[in-house]
Structure 1
Amino acid sequence: MAAIETPTGVLLGRFEPGSPEWEQARGGLVVTATEIAAVMSLSPWQSRFSLWHKKAGLPTPPFEVTPAVEWGNRLEVAVAQKWMEEHQDTEDVEPAGTWRHSDRPWQIATPDQIFMPLTGWMIAPGQLPQLLEVKTSPFGDGWGPDGSDEIPVHYRCQIQWQLDTLGLKTCHVALLVSGHDYREYRIEYDQADAELMRKAAREFLDDVAAGIRPPIDSSDATHQTIRRQPEGREDVDVEIPGPLRDRYFTALDGSKAATAELLGAKSQVLDAIGNGRRAVCLGETVATRTVRDGKTHSLQPAKNRSTT
Structure 2
Amino acid sequence: MTTSTLILPGSPEWLRYFSASKVAALPIKLDERGEYTRGVSRWESPFSLFHRMAGHLEPEDPKDEFTVGHAAELMLAALYRELHPGWRLSPGEVQYVRTDLGVPAMATLDRRASRGSSRRVVEFKTARDANEFGVDGTDEIPADYFIQQTWQMGVTGYTRHPAHLMLGMSFFARRLFEVAFDAEVFAFLLEAARKFNAMLAEGIEPELDDTKPTYETIRELHPDIDGTAVYIEAADAQALLDSEADLDAAKSFAMGRKSWALKQMGNAQYLYVRDPGGDHKKDVKVADRRKNSHGSVSFYVNKKADLAAITGGIS
TM-score normalised by the chain length of structure 2: 0.83
The reply to whether residue 99 of structure 1 matches residue 96 of structure 2 is yes
Please identify runs of 4+ aligned residues in structure 1 that moved more than 6 A.
none
Paired residue type of 1:11: T
Cross-structure match for 1:306: 306
Instruction: Give me the TM-score of the superposition, normalised by structure 1.
Output: 0.85
Q: Cα gap change, 1:145/1:92 in structure 2, threshold over 3 Å: closer, same or farther?
A: closer
Distance in 1 between the 2:167 and 2:243 partners?
39
Note the alpha carbon deviations across 1:192-250, whole angstroms, 9 max, x for none. Answer: 11111111111111111111111111111111111111242222221112332121011
Cα distance change on mapping 1:57 and 1:25 into 2, 3 Å: closer
Counterpart AA for 1:130 = R
Alignment of 1:194-209 (within 5 A): 194-209=186-201
Cα 1:69–1:271 change in 2 (3 A) is farther
What does residue 290 of structure 2 align with? 290
Give the residue type in structure 1 aligned to 2:69: G
Q: Which has the higher contact order (CA 8 A, sep 6+)?
A: 1
1:256 Cα deviation after fit: 1.5
Q: Alpha-carbon deviation of 1:103?
A: 0.9
Q: 2:76 aligns to what?
A: 79
Decide whether the 8 Å contact of 2:81 with 2:88 is kept in 1.
no
The amino acid that maps onto 1:106 is P
RMSD (CA atoms): 2.2
Secondary structure of the residue aligned to 2:188 is helix
Alignment equivalent of 2:24, drawn from 22, 37, 41 = 37
1:7 maps to which residue? none
What residue number does 1:216 align with?
208
Change (3 A) 1:80 1:24: same
Alignment CA distance shift 1:226-1:178 (3 Å)? same
Distance 2:265 2:13 in 1: 46
1:3 counterpart residue number: none
Equivalent pairs: percent with the same residue? 25
Does the C-alpha gap of structure 1 residues 294 and 246 become closer, same or farther in structure 2, counting only changes over 3 Å?
same
Distance 2:59 2:236 in 1: 25
Residue aligning to 2:14:
27
Once the two structures are superposed, residues 23-73 of structure 1 have per-residue CA deviations (whole angstroms, 9 ceiling, x without a partner) of 44862322101111111311111111111110111125835614x444322
SS at match of 2:60: coil
Q: Do the aligned partners of 1:60 and 1:225 also contact (CA within 8 Å) in 2?
A: no
Residue 113 of structure 1: how far off its partner (Å): 0.6
Q: Tell me: CA distance 1:14–1:64, structure 2 relative to 1, closer, same or farther (3 Å).
A: closer
Shift of residue 93, structure 1, vs aligned partner: 3.6
Q: Secondary structure of the residue that 2:3 maps to in structure 1?
A: strand
Show the counterpart of 2:34: none
- Determine the structure 2 residue equivalent to 1:55: 53
1:260 aligns to what SS in structure 2?
helix
Structure 1, 270-279 or 199-208: larger mean CA deviation: 270-279
Q: Is the 1:142–1:303 Cα contact (8 Å) retained in structure 2?
A: no
Q: Does 1:134 align with 2:124?
A: yes
Evaluate the alpha carbon distance shift between residue 33 and residue 186 of structure 1 in structure 2; reply closer, same or farther with a 3 A threshold: same
Q: Which SS does the other structure have where 1:109 is aligned?
A: strand
Aligned in 2, Cα 1:266/1:45: closer, same or farther, shift over 3 Å? same
Partner of residue 236 from structure 1, selected from 224, 228, 231: 228
The match for 2:4 is: 13
Give the deviation of 1:111 after TM superposition.
Answer: 0.8
Judge conservation of contact 2:10–2:59 (CA < 8 Å) in 1: no
Measured in 2, the distance between the counterparts of 1:26 and 1:88 equals: 37
Q: Is the 8 A contact 2:10 2:60 kept in 1?
A: no
- For these two proteins, the number of residue pairs brought into alignment is 285
SS of equivalent to 2:191 = helix
Structure 1 residues not aligned, in runs of 5+:
1-9, 118-122
- 26 and 36 in structure 1: CA distance in 2 versus 1, 3 angstrom threshold: farther
Match of residue 5 from structure 1: none
Secondary structure of the equivalent of 2:288?
strand
CA distance in 1, matches of 2:50, 2:18: 11
Q: What runs of 5+ residues in structure 2 fail to find an aligned partner?
A: 29-38, 275-282, 308-312
1:112 aligned partner:
110
CA distance in 2, matches of 1:50, 1:219: 10
Question: How far is 1:133 from its partner?
Answer: 0.7
